[in-house]
Amino acid sequence: MLKETPSWLLTQSAMHAQRIVSEMFGVGGARGYHYRLLATLAEFGPASQASLGRRTGIDRSDVVAAINELAADGYLDRSPDPDDGRRNIITLTAAGKRQHKRLAELVRKAQDEIFAPLSATERDQLTKLLTKVLTHHRSS
């Protein structure tokens, strides 16, 4: 039966999750790419555009466009890499750190809405299982 197929259930759940997360980011005047970049910079510190693309899984041209948007809003600084003048180093500004915190709160609210029927233990178990599946396919 289709409704008992894990891949179908995952796809259907992902569609609902994407809608809920997108709506939350809309409330915050942002997009998913913005959050992914801000969260990566908050976690790992300043990075090149290429490194941000690899860490976030965002295509290079989309990384540049999103960085331009975030820089225009004062959330990021772009400066030449002292080791390689052809590259830019992207750094969070104080406003960027505040925006990251606002968006992280929206992500938390989205997670609560998406996974409302699950207990905390079930959420942890689901996260571990999805991580295991994703890790397997990324390494193949």
In a domain, 67, yes or no: yes
Looking at residue 136, its pLDDT comes to 94
Rounded to the nearest integer, the mean pLDDT of the chain is: 94
Domain count across the chain:
1
Pure H helices in 28-119: 32-44, 49-56, 60-72, 94-114
52 domain-assigned: yes
- What does the pLDDT look like over 52-97, one tens digit per residue? 999 999 998 899 999 999 999 999 999 998 888 788 999 999 999 9
Domain residue limits at 74: 30-112
- Tell me the pLDDT tens digit for each residue of 101-113: 999 999 999 999 9
Q: What is the CATH number of the domain that holds 35?
A: 1.10.10.10
- How far the first Cα of the chain sits from its last, in Å, is 28
Check residue 83 and give its pLDDT: 84
20 domain residue, yes or no: no
Any idea of the CA torsion for 104, 43, 136, 116, to the nearest 10 degrees? -20
Give the pair of three-digit tokens for residue 31: 């997009």
Give a yes or no: residue 22 inside a domain. Answer: no
Output the pTM of the full model.
0.87
Alpha carbons 57 and 50: distance in angstroms, whole number: 10
DSSP 50-73: HHHHHHHT--HHHHHHHHHHHHHT
Residue with tokens 């104080």: 94
Q: Which residue has the tokens 């969070």?
A: 92
